[in-house]
Amino acid sequence: MPTIDLDSDLTVFEYPYHVRYSEVGHRGLMTAPALINAFQDCSTFQSEALGVGMAWLRNEQRAWVLTHWQIVVDRYPSLCEEIAVGTFANSFKGFTAKRNFYIKDNAGKYIARAQSSWAFIDLSTGRPTRPTPAHIDPYGSHDPLELPAEDRRVKLPDVLEQREPIIVRRGLIDTNEHVNNCQYVQMALELLPRETAPTSIRVDYRRAAVLGDTIYPSIGEIGHRAVVALNDSAGAPFAVVELA
């Protein structure tokens, strides 16, 4: 993880970053999936730095699973741009947690902000379970960043157009043996009629797809928002993605 001072306050965790060639799209700007990866990487670095990282959590047979994203992007940073990616926890309630993410430019100005919701899972049962103080106290908690008010649930449009099924290949799977959350956004972006750098992304994660699953996408619109349902063969959503 980035060099860190263990005596400093790691409950707001920030890492400096230069946008790499592999993170930009053909216009030379960071892509939305790269931005989501940067957020998730940041929280992973924080957990490791706080001593509650992936290996420790796996020994406990526990995992944090993402259930909701709301991401607002004022501007996508460009190739080689110096940015800072940060995260902090907002609250822990029952088996859930809320966490903010941000990107600041090198003048310290926010250029992207996100709110996320997580569930704590017992890996032996696959069901939510309440974290203990050992799991959550190291993170602390901070007042949430301001984000536009939205309903918790992403609404589906009345009319949805079916698209080609997607088979879950190995490259989409992460350390949890699930399709990585960033991939659902990538799938939704691929369905749009033209390349877009969305300024608002919302995702409801309902159930994780695994290797060999087939995902049935459909797409519709509500006003200027494109909504993509990524369903299983029975029509139950793995995830619903809204892009604007």
AA identity, residue 3: T
Q: Give least dist CB 238 to a copy of itself, A.
A: 18
Point out which span in 27-35, 95-103, 115-123, 228-236 binds a copy of itself (CB under 8 A): 27-35
Burial of 112 (0-12, 13-18, 19+ CB in 10 A): buried
37 near a copy of itself (CB under 8 A) = yes
Q: Which is nearer to a copy of itself, 37 or 96 (CB)?
A: 37
Chain position carrying tokens 């793995």: 238
Element (H, E) at 42: helix 32-49
Point out which span in 44-52, 68-76, 107-115, 215-223 binds a copy of itself (CB under 8 A): 44-52
- Tell me which residues in 74-103 interact with a copy of itself (CB under 8 A): 79-80
**What pairs with residue 114 in β-bridges?**
71, 101
For 56-79, the DSSP string reads HHHHTTEEEEEEEEEEEES---BT
Q: Which is nearer to a copy of itself, 146 or 177 (CB)?
A: 177
- CA–CA gap between residue 28 and residue 38 (Å, rounded): 17
Q: Which is nearer to a copy of itself, 155 or 163 (CB)?
A: 163
AA identity, residue 66: L
Residues near a copy of itself (CB under 8 A), total: 37
147 near a copy of itself (CB under 8 A) = no
Chain position carrying tokens 């990616």: 85
Q: Give least dist CB 206 to a copy of itself, A.
A: 22
Point out which span in 88-96, 115-123, 183-191, 213-221 binds a copy of itself (CB under 8 A): 183-191
The set of residues, in sequence order, having a beta carbon less than 8 Å from that of 211 and lying 6+ positions away, is 168, 169, 170, 173, 177
Q: Which is nearer to a copy of itself, 47 or 100 (CB)?
A: 47
DSSP state letter for 143? P
Q: Which is nearer to a copy of itself, 35 or 154 (CB)?
A: 35
54 near a copy of itself (CB under 8 A) = yes
Q: Which is nearer to a copy of itself, 28 or 140 (CB)?
A: 28
51 near a copy of itself (CB under 8 A) = no
Contacts 24+ apart (CB under 8 A), 188-196: 188/217, 188/219, 188/226, 188/228, 188/230, 188/241, 188/243, 189/32, 189/33, 189/243, 191/163, 191/217, 191/219, 191/228, 192/219, 192/226, 192/243, 195/25, 195/26, 195/27, 196/243
177 near a copy of itself (CB under 8 A) = yes
Point out which span in 98-106, 133-141, 184-192, 227-235 binds a copy of itself (CB under 8 A): 184-192
Provide the binding-site residues for a copy of itself, judged by CB under 8 A. 1-2, 18, 20-22, 24-28, 33, 37-38, 40-41, 44-45, 48, 53-54, 79-80, 169-171, 173-177, 180, 182, 186, 189-190, 195
